[in-house]
Amino acid sequence: MKLKTPIIILTVALSLHCSMLQANELPDLGDVSATVLSPLQERAIAEQILREVAVSDEVLHDVEVTDYLKALGARLVANGPDRQQKFNFFVVQDRSINAFAMPGGVIGVHTGLMLSANSESELASVLGHEIGHVTQRHLARMLASQKYDTFKNLAGVALALLLSRSNPQLASGAMTTASAMGVQSQLDYTREHEREADRIGLQILDSGGFDVRAMPQFFNTLQRGTRFIEGGAPSFLRTHPLTTERIADVANRVEQMPYRQVTDSVEFYYVRAKLRASQGSLQAAIDLFEQNIREQRYSHEAAEHFGLATAYLLKNDVVNTEKELGWLRQHAPKHAMIENLAARLLVAQNNPQQAERQYASALNVYPGNLALIYGYAEHFLAIKQPERVIALIKDKQALYPDDAMLFELLAKAYTMQDKVLLRHQAQSDAYFRKYDLTRAIEQMDLASKANDGDFYQKSIVEARLKRLRQMQGKEKKANFWE
């Protein structure tokens, strides 16, 4: 992450503000890693990081991109060695080639990595590798090998983990505020960790139906990292040492595995095109898309037109957006991302009637597509029809009970209706799903004090407020937040 990230991490450190449990206070789980980070502590760090991720400007909050990454990650996790471990994937808006795993199954992926991968299997190979680090608890094992006084508290650990993983180049300068300079130097993966993660990653790739040869191919991409960024090797290599021996080991393993020809998904191409459209100058992106189409330099023609249409729409050039959308309608198979682009174009053209028909038609074909659900709800808010927002979300919420954005949209609709209790209740539910228990309690307390709402609604609010406070009490009792 960039320069604003240390502020985010300091927030993590201040809000954690907790002392490490002493060795004789921890349960004996039969694993040396448990003497430093118990599963409860790992989850606490993960939730604290996810709380900051939810509001960070440096995290890409594009539902189509993040949904693609989450779907790819879920497919890999389902074929991994630990299906009980919960994982959370997010995208960092950063052009450097990097991905990082943290305790509790939190995995961040830079946009630069997604763009530098030559195939979906290459991207999957990195995710599989990071999943391997999590399932083998490499970070916890490294922490276990250090003395207790090296890590004064979990805040210092979280600080070192988040910064050293997201941007190792900034770590030495920013981590001194948490006295964590020594931590970062001890958190680089060892060669043995890398070999183990490679082995797990290859198994996950193979079981998931991807091309295992993508892993050594991506190693070659990393070795040529200076082609993608200035200033030396990719950030990924700063915490994941890559040696000739390691490359040879993976190549030898791959040679003994059956060959599989794998076709990249359409989503892989469309997501990358969307990222390319939003990187740097819009006009430069448009010029490059047009040149690629003109010279037929592309891996996926429809994705190139999709990227060009996206760039034009970002530039608010509705005429050329419509032209490219027409090409997609005629030449590309029907796809949710194209339908969403068409709806966004109609909104930009200030055509609410046709936009509504487009959203309704698209959701009839893709009823669970979050981008379309968000867009449709925001459209209803824009035309001052909150009751239709509420009906839409109530209909779709069962598909995504833990989606914070749906609750935020619900809160906006209730605000438009002047329903105070329901507004604060929905906002509380949103904060809870962003792992912000303090704000969730504040909002639910406001809901309990609202003058509107019937007996049934007030009873629900009071019960939820009681439950939230009980959860907060358990956290304090566990000595995590004191």
pTM assigned to the model = 0.85
Q: How many CB atoms lie within 10 A of CB 185?
A: 12
pLDDT at 162: 58
The answer as to whether 154 is a domain residue is: yes
The answer as to whether 388 is a domain residue is: no
Tell which residue, 114, 148, 130, has the closest CA to residue 36: 148
In terms of C-beta distances under 8 Å and separation of at least 24 residues, what long-range contacts does 286-295 make, across chains too?
286/311, 286/312, 286/315
Q: How far is CA 215 from CA 92, 128, 219, 271, in A?
A: 22, 10, 6, 21
Q: What is the pLDDT of residues 73-126, one digit of tens each?
A: 999 999 999 888 999 999 999 888 889 888 889 999 999 999 999 999 999 999
Place of tokens 């070999």: 195
Whole-angstrom Cα distance, residue 272 to residue 119? Answer: 11
The answer as to whether 244 is a domain residue is: yes
Q: Taking a C-beta distance cutoff of 8 angstroms, is the pair 131, 200 a contact?
A: yes
pLDDT at 30: 42
Residue 358 exposed, middle or buried by CB count within 10 Å (0-12, 13-18, 19+): buried
SS3 letters for 340-402? HHHHHHHHHCCCHHHHHHHHHHHHHHCCCCHHHHHHHHHHHHHCCCHHHHHHHHHHHCCCCCC
Structure tokens at 97: 């080639």
The answer as to whether 349 is a domain residue is: no
The answer as to whether 365 is a domain residue is: no
Place of tokens 């993966």: 189
Q: Taking a C-beta distance cutoff of 8 angstroms, is the pair 19, 479 a contact?
A: yes
Amino acid letter, 123: L
Whole-angstrom Cα distance, residue 230 to residue 220? Answer: 17
Q: Taking a C-beta distance cutoff of 8 angstroms, is the pair 100, 166 a contact?
A: yes
The answer as to whether 482 is a domain residue is: yes
Partners of 108 in the β-ladder: 90, 100
pLDDT at 39: 80
Residue 417 confidence (pLDDT) above 90:
yes
pLDDT classification of 247: cutoffs 50, 70, 90: confident
Amino acid letter, 457: Q
DSSP classification of residue 300? -
Domain region containing 470: 419-482
Residue 128 confidence (pLDDT) above 70:
yes
DSSP classification of residue 227? G
**Mean pLDDT for all residues in the chain:** 83
Structure tokens at 47: 């939730």
Residues in the chain: 482
pLDDT at 240: 73
The segment with the largest mean pLDDT, out of 126-140, 169-183, 267-281, is: 267-281
CB-based contacts of 414, cutoff 8 Å, min separation 6: 386, 390, 422, 423, 426
Q: Give the count of domains, the chain.
A: 2
Q: Which of 208, 228, 255 is the last residue of a domain?
A: 255
Q: Which of 255, 277, 311 is the last residue of a domain?
A: 255
Residue 175 confidence (pLDDT) above 60:
no
Residue 224 confidence (pLDDT) above 70:
no
Residue 137 confidence (pLDDT) above 90:
no
Place of tokens 């996790």: 77
Question: What percentage of the chain exceeds 90 in pLDDT?
Answer: 63
Element (H, E) at 192: helix 191-207
Residue 283 confidence (pLDDT) above 60:
yes
Q: Which of the two residues, 424 and 100, has the higher pLDDT score?
A: 424
The answer as to whether 238 is a domain residue is: yes
The answer as to whether 311 is a domain residue is: no
Q: What is the pLDDT of residues 286-303, one digit of tens each?
A: 999 999 999 999 999 999
DSSP classification of residue 175? G
Place of tokens 């909002």: 443
Q: Which of 204, 239, 255 is the last residue of a domain?
A: 255
